Structure 1
Amino acid sequence: MSSTPETITDTLREEIISRPDMILDDRDLMQALIAANERSMGGNIVDLRGIAMERLESRLDRLEDTHRSVIAAAYENLAGTNQIHRAILRMLDPIAFEPFLHDLGGEVADILRVDMVRLVLESAQNDSDPAIRRLGDVLSVAEPGFIEEYLSGGSGAPQRQVTLRQLHEGDARIYGDKAGWMRSEACLKLDFGAGRLPGLLVMGSEDPHMFTPQQGTDLLAFFAGVFERAMRRWLS
């Protein structure tokens, strides 16, 4: 009993000849052709061209992975920029001080997708002022030096304008009864101008990966700069 090798049809042959890129662009087909060529040469021949192609394919895979990572990072950065811009526009909407602060813990926090936003102001006076009590859901008053101590953990080391860190739990002086739920925070140090004590804007999240030290801080630094200028208007 004999058999004859199968041959491709004339139609398929003409299609391949007229459109060779159809095969060249198909990685699986090219690998099958290369493997068939290696088998036809036998096991005692080293195919340097095949080795070179394998290395090129590996390099191409790495380049494609890098390309996808760059595109993903660009989209993420664009989304973050739009998010910060929307939060700033909403923050600047109120024309009175109390709604301005209340919105921080409301719609601004929702836009930024954080669980809490707290403003800490240092003052030599106590927090018994009725206006301060009305803003207790977003505003805390602390004694001078508290902000540096909170940011440095008592080490006294100079702190950057934006500090991102993960938490075992939040500080009750900042988050109150919700401190136990906080797992990460962004601390934005505020400068209200010469002769004024500093402030601190704290964004807390129950997600431990929301804020980490490896993340960029440019957008949050921009947000802090806008907030500083808005607060100077109210404090003047």
Structure 2
Amino acid sequence: MDGAAEAIAEEATLEAEVRAYLLQNPALIREDEALLSELGLRPAPENVVEFGPAALARVHEAHRREASARQQLEATARENYAAQGQTHGAVIDLLESRNHADLARRVDDLAQWRFGLSAGVVALEGPENTPAGWRVLVEGQVDMILGGHQALHRMGFAPTALGLFGERADHVKSMAMVRLAIWEPARQGLIAFGSPDPEGFTPDMGAELVAFLARVVERTAERWPVL
């Protein structure tokens, strides 16, 4: 038997001997208050050892962490469900648009009244034939705002996008923006939502719901020609 195996065998033997000794001499633990305190135990009447304050505190802390994690999951699920419900309602509003100007107005309205944001904007690179109520962008400005010609969306604060929000720009502290491609041949544009909260939209957030609204705006806008 090598040295490591001998050490393991000796440790197992020692543990067995200690256990046997304690079984034969239980008073050694029951009457040692310092040891009981260190173990988080306490003697109860009838010589029964109960969990003491330290042990109960550990159990309580574990339960508190579990309850907190469960509450966070439930809160996140409720928020996601509410956001999806608001998005579905917004889609119905957008589909009821009568023209391009009405579509832009509805985007702004749903941003403020459904989602509690500062503004919602639809913009299109032009300047020719830009629908009424839409922001006019110069060619290449969508790439500049989103951070590159491959970028499909941008979340967070982008100083280059403040101009999209006009007189409400001072109230916008974070943005959610998604690229649009409308008509054939495709013209570049974007839909942008501005939040008064610096943490309203952050770079680590998913853009799925905003992208979904962008696709609805694209399909709705294509109902009518650009005059």
TM-score, normalised to structure 1, is 0.67
Q: What does the per-residue CA deviation read over 1:53-92, in whole Å, with 9 as the maximum and x for residues that have no partner? A: 6544433222111101100100011111111111111111
Q: What does the per-residue CA deviation read over 1:13-38, in whole Å, with 9 as the maximum and x for residues that have no partner? A: xxxxxxxxxxxxxxxxxxxxxxxxx9
Aligned to 1:34: none
Aligned to 1:158: 150
Q: How does 1:198-217 map to 2 (within 5 A)?
A: 198-217=188-207
Letter in 1 for 2:222: R
TM-score, normalised to structure 2, is 0.69
**Structure 2 residue 73 is matched with structure 1 residue 81:** no
Q: d(CA) in 2 for partners of 1:64 and 1:114?
A: 32
Letter in 2 for 1:210: G
Can you give the 5+ residue segments of structure 2 that lack an aligned partner in the other structure?
1-28, 42-50
1:166, 1:209 within 8 Å by CA — same for their partners in 2? no
Larger % of strand: which? 2
**Pair member with larger Rg:** 2
Counterparts in 2 of 1:228 and 1:42: CA distance versus 1, 3 Å: same
Q: How does 1:34-113 map to 2 (within 5 A)?
A: 42-45=33-36, 46-47=38-39, 50=51, 54-107=57-110, 109-113=112-116
1:185, 1:211 within 8 Å by CA — same for their partners in 2? yes
**Between Structure 1 and Structure 2, how many residues are aligned?**
186
Aligned Cα root-mean-square deviation (Å): 3.0
User: Partner of 1:43: helix, strand, or coil?
Assistant: helix
Letter in 1 for 2:221: M
Q: How does 1:136-155 map to 2 (within 5 A)?
A: 139-152=134-147
Sequence identity percentage: 24
Letter in 2 for 1:87: A
